[in-house]
Structure 1
Amino acid sequence: MCKTKMGVNASEPTRTRSRPSQSQGRHHRAPPTRSPSTSITGTTTTTTSNSNKTGVSSSTGASSSAASRTSLASLRESLPENPHIYDVAEIRAATNNFLAHRLSSSSSKASWRCNLRGREVVVFQRKFRRRIAKDELRDRLSDICRSHHGSIINLLGASVSGGGGGGGDHIYLVYEYVNGASLADCLRNPKNPNFTVLSNWTSRIQIATDLAHGLDYIHNKTGLKIENLVHNHIKSSAVIVTEPNFNAKICHFGTAQLCGETDETSPERDGSRSSRRSDSRALRFEGVRGYMSPEFQSSGIATQKSDVFAFGVMMLELLSGEEPLKYRYDKHTGDFERTSVIETAKASIDAEDSDVEGRLRRWMDRRLGDSFPVTVVEKLTRLALECVQDDPVNRPEMGRVAGKISQLYLESEKWSTNMKRPTDITVSYAPR
């Protein structure tokens, strides 16, 4: 996965680049295609057909349909999307009793890369934030493991210490291992700050497109029974970038629901600030400085609109290459000055003078070599600033955001095509 969360090197591609309109999610894997003469159970059947498609009795069709439904139902239950309920002893054995080398991480959560049931995985240890019934936990795990999208790292299963949720027990979430580096590491390498693998505009708009469609899938297209599904861990260190096409994958899908971090009894459809603060000290919310929306900081309740806020911050981070928050020591005052990427983005867009292009070029990541479509960058910056509005009601839905970024992706492709050097030019040194 990444140096910070789930892997070490960015190398093997996980999927080829496709246009945004084609990178849609899927809920279940389709069963393999079989020839018309063989049923799913392996029994050979005989079918007759002519140019008028007659000669098949209704009874035969009904029995075949019933048999197909039964076979498909049994096949669906045997698909690998079914969640694995691991025994804690398996987790201990795979992680050498939790003494194996941990993955380097920007968070305090323990994680290990290991081999489990013949598959390379990453195990995250997290603590329950509130008590969850065992049946409810199993149902949620089953739903989340059956959700798939090309921009989301799949959850394979889980194990619960102590046999259930709550009571200080831990849950071990097992995700597929993806070879790559985190977006935070790709943008900011402390050992070589002047270098980034994301040195061209095409790689960055590809990442923006993948992340927008991945979060839109989580919010609107999973088809799960969980109402108002949120991610609650959107940040650059929780995104894996793979080479060579620089596709992005979102980590930790389902963590908030399985660990009891969400308060589903609270009104969150409108995302308003009227959400009350939890009176229970046992329900401690987690957030990353710079990515937390104002209402999340005041209430601790994660909503889809707080996800949109974090996504907007990450887009500004992707454009500028800067951290969400920076602190610089002022020698004259002896204090630390706080700089927000939201504030610098607003200053480059909303100033009164007409030199928006010049300010935008100075604000953008200089490692792009000043080679990017300015109109596309301006549109994407304004869209990201819409996502980080203080009032959650004014923030757009992720479906609208994904649609707009898809349009910007297509505009970027046209720009890239026009920027290519002509290859049909011939040069002659002969005298005229």
Structure 2
Amino acid sequence: MAGVVLLLSFLLMPLSASATGKVCGKGGNYTANSTYSSNLSLLAAALPLNASSSPTLFATATAGQSPDAVHALALCRGDTAADSNATASCGGCIADSFRYAQELCPNARAAAVYFEYNDSDSRPGCLLGFSPDAAFLGLTPAAIAAADGSTLFQFWNGQSIPGDAAAVAADVRELLNATARDAAAAAVRRFATVTMDSGSSDIPTLFSLAQCTPDLPAGDCLACLQRLVAMVNDTTAVRQGGRILVLRCNIRFEAFMFYNGESMRRIRPSSGVTPAPPATGPTGKRNGVRPWVIAISVAAPVALVAFGFILYYRRLRRRYTKGKVRSHGKRARKLKGGDELLWEMEAEFSVFDFQQILEATCNFSEENILGEGGFGPVYKGQFPDGMEIAVKRLASHSGQGFIEFKNEVQLIAKLQHRNLVRLLGCCSQGEEKILVYEYLPNKSLDFFIFDEDKKALMDWNKCLAITEGIAEGLLYLHKHSRLCVIHRDLKPSNILLDSKMNPKISDFGLAKIFSSNATDEGNTTRRVVGTYGYMAPEYASEGLFSVKSDVFSFGVLILEILSGKRNSGSNQCGDFINILGYAWQLWEEGRWIEIVDASLNPKSHSEEIMRCINIALLCVQENAADRPTMLDVVAMLSSKTMILRETKHPAYFNLRVGNEEASTGTQSCSVNDLTISVTTAR
């Protein structure tokens, strides 16, 4: 959108309606039912959910390939609560923005919409931008400057603030600069609000807000906001309100409270502070007090304060050096063998004392064992305050050591999503390496879908909700988290369920931090890790992994949820060694309903179930390039009208059952909970 001629306008509706600012880029229009239109519809379906489920209420996404690719960004205002209502408030605002973009910039290939509800409405606003330009979402100075130039929007109140114009203008700039600094310094949302009390009945109290997109580094955020503040001239600075918005940052001030919650800081204007003149005696000497008396009286308290500050600083530094972190009212010990984690995590998690863990789990009583995975046993525990926890204890024979332990701590402490398990803390003392999670009472997904008795508790609506939740969690890992993460070991036993059967992805010991480009591939020169039956073929055979590796595992997961069978060989899979080839054969022959477990009542939900099977088969295609991204998957799951592509044959589909495999069991397609680590030659 850089360099295009812009059409700038503002639609100010009545008090009962909403106010919307929009910038339509003259980069050409798309036609109805075109590929570009379809890609834009994909983003309109995915972005509201992605942003509202993110702790930063921010999301970026790309749909399609050039020249029909659409790049989009959505951000909800920082005073939006990241809670269960975020889907309605934040997601609803972004959905409205897409609708307004169609109305205000009909068929425009590029547009920016700044959606703000009327000031009498308590719902915060949001912003949305999309473009076919690949640099639209760039974070380089040149890309940010280009986006600023093509998405700039301003609106100013027609009334002026009473008082001395020069003093008022200086106060407003001071307020906006302070708010900009606070927003840039805010580590998570890059958002701040400040109130300026003039102390005068003639000049009203002023309220300001500043925000950047959370992916901007602090320095770039401050630079972006300072460019906007520099645009506030002597005329606009004395207005009773105004706002300046670009794609990556925005500021606003008003003579009334326009945001939710209390201001984060209150300041007084420098121009309104008039220091009292010093009292002088008849001779001009300050009441006759000699200079050396003044020096001593000032130096003594200053020295005392400095001494106290030094003591406090040394004590604070000693606390960090010893790794003392408060946890449930107790001091935690130093993280032995990996104390650098305390510095790297910056107190984002608690470090528990081993004695606390022993007491919580009754000395790791066998009665408290919840299950066991590749990492080791998982115990249920309870702290003295009644809080229930799940304790994952590294087993000496697990094959996973401090590297995997540290990897899981570092990753999950930085990840926050409603479909990811929440890490409460860790413990490392001698040979003991322990992770402490929130306790989820319904254990893991495999306890339900592979148990004949518990299947009855899983109706179709629950299965669909679980499938969608897992997809959203994976999309967050791949696209919208602070780190781009590939899980590499997605399977039913690593999907935990809370009291409401909401899914939460767990076990990040084998996860990999990846580049920001979701199409990139990596490889492992040391070992292939994962679980047999869920590994993508290019990873199992060549060590190549990408986000498409997780997509493959997700496809296997869908088929297991629908069939109630594990993916591997038995006579339950027809002539095939696994469920993938069996499902594909039934799909090709139009007999897909035969693979669906009867407990899901497939005849009553035939269209939805058939759609899920189609999506699953797209995910498990042999060629990674043919598989959809998780952004595509979420869009396909959320839309009942989107036309799905034809699926090609899945991986491993041509492996036939031999005598040895056929005798492995009759109740399922084999047990595949083994986590493997295969050395590969290079």
Question: What's the TM-score bracket when you normalise by the shorter of the two chains?
Answer: 0.5 to 0.7
**Which one of the candidate residues 398, 417, 422 is aligned to 2:630?**
398
Alignment of 1:238-257 (within 5 A): 238-242=494-498, 244=500, 246-252=501-507, 254-257=508-511
Structure with more contact order per residue of length (Cα contacts < 8 Å, sep ≥ 6) = 1
- Cα separation, 1, equivalents of 2:349 and 2:520: 32
- Counterpart amino acid of residue 61 in structure 1: L
- Aligned residue among 280, 289, 306 for 2:549: 306
The 3 A distance-change label for structure 1 pair 256 and 288 is closer
| Residue of structure 1 aligned with 2:379, choices 109, 112, 115 | 112
Q: For residues 444 and 404 of structure 2, what CA distance do their matches in structure 1 show?
A: 34
Decide whether aligned partners of structure 1 residues 382 and 150 sit closer, same or farther in structure 2, where only a CA change above 3 A counts. same
Return closer, same or farther for 1:223/1:408 CA change in 2, 3 Å cut-off: farther
Change (3 A) 1:367 1:381: same
Partner of residue 456 from structure 2, selected from 178, 188, 196: 196
* Contact 1:88–1:161 (Cα < 8 Å) also in 2: yes
**Residue 213 of structure 1 aligns with which residue?**
472
Counterpart for residue 407 of structure 1? 639
- 1:287 is aligned to 2:530: yes
* TM-score, L = length of structure 2: 0.43
Kindly state the Cα deviation for residue 376 of structure 1 after the two structures are TM-superposed: 3.1
The 2-side partners of 1:160 and 1:209 are apart by 35
Query: CA contact under 8 A between 1:316 and 1:341: conserved in structure 2?
Result: yes
Summarize deviations over 1:149-192 as a string: whole Å, max 9, x none: 12111122222243xxxxxx5531211112324222222324x3
Question: Offset at 1:298?
Answer: 2.6
SS in 2 for 1:96: coil
Q: Indicate how the Cα distance of structure 1 residues 293 and 161 shifts in structure 2: closer, same or farther if over 3 A, else same.
A: farther
Q: 1:327 aligns with which of 559, 564, 570?
A: 570
Q: 2:485 is paired with a residue of what secondary structure? A: coil
Decide which of 568, 579, 593 is 1:341's aligned counterpart.
Answer: 579
Instruction: Name the counterpart of 2:437.
Output: 175
Q: 1:87 to 1:242 in 2, by over 3 A?
A: closer
Contact 1:183 1:237 in 2 (8 A): yes
Q: Show the counterpart of 1:316.
A: 559
In 2, the alpha carbon distance for the partners of 1:386 and 1:243 equals 31
Change (3 A) 1:94 1:271: same
Structure 1 counterpart SS, 2:551 = helix
Instruction: Name the CA shift for 1:160/1:305 in 2 (closer, same or farther; >3 Å).
Output: farther
Could you tell me how far apart the structure 2 residues matched to 1:388 and 1:304 are?
13
Change (3 A) 1:270 1:389: farther
Q: Distance in 2 between matches of 1:408 and 1:318?
A: 20
2:179 to 60, 65, 77: 65
1:188–1:196 CA contact under 8 A, matched in 2: no
Which whole-Å deviations, capped at 9, do the CAs of 1:295-330 have from their partners, x for residues lacking one? 33235565422211110000111222222224249x
Aligned residues: 338
Q: Secondary structure at the match of 2:531?
A: coil
* Alignment partners' CA distance in 1, 2:416 and 2:524: 33
Q: Report the Cα distance in structure 2 between the residues aligned to 1:363 and 1:219, rounded to whole angstroms.
A: 30
CA distance in 1, matches of 2:411, 2:633: 26
Distance 2:79 2:429 in 1: 35
- Residue of structure 1 equivalent to 2:490: 234
Q: Which moved more, 1:285-294 or 1:63-72?
A: 63-72
Residue 172 of structure 2 aligns with an amino acid whose one-letter code is S
After superposition, what is the alpha-carbon deviation per residue over 1:373-429, rounded to whole angstroms, capped at 9, x for unaligned? 433333321221121122222222111111111114999xxxxxxxxxxxxxxxxxx
Conservation of the 8 A alpha-carbon contact between 1:319 and 1:364: yes
Which one has the bigger strand percentage? 2
SS of the residue 1:287 aligns to:
strand
The amino acid of 2:560's aligned partner reads E
Q: Distance in 2 between matches of 1:74 and 1:306?
A: 29
| Match in the other structure for 2:621 | 389
Partner residue of 1:377? 609
Counterpart secondary structure, 1:215: helix
1:158 to 426, 436, 459: 426
Matched residue SS, 1:189: coil
Counterparts of 1:236 and 1:25, CA distance in 2: 22
Partner of 2:457, secondary structure, is: coil
Q: How many Å separate the matches in 2 of 1:350 and 1:386? A: 13
Q: CA separation in 2, counterparts of 1:154 and 1:349?
A: 38
Q: Is the 8 A contact 2:536 2:552 kept in 1?
A: yes
Name the aligned partner's letter for residue 198 of structure 1.
M
Aligned ranges 1:49-64 → 2 under 5 Å: 52=160, 57-58=171-172, 61=175
Measured against aligned partners, the alpha-carbon deviations of 1:81-121 in whole angstroms (never above 9, x if no partner) come to 82112233433333334345343426352111112474321
- Measured at CA, do residues 63 and 216 of structure 1 come closer, stay the same or move farther in structure 2, by a change above 3 Å? closer
Distance in 1 between residues matched to 2:417 and 2:424, nearest whole Å: 14
Matches within 5 A, 1:34-49: none
Partners of 1:53 and 1:64 lie apart in 2 by 20
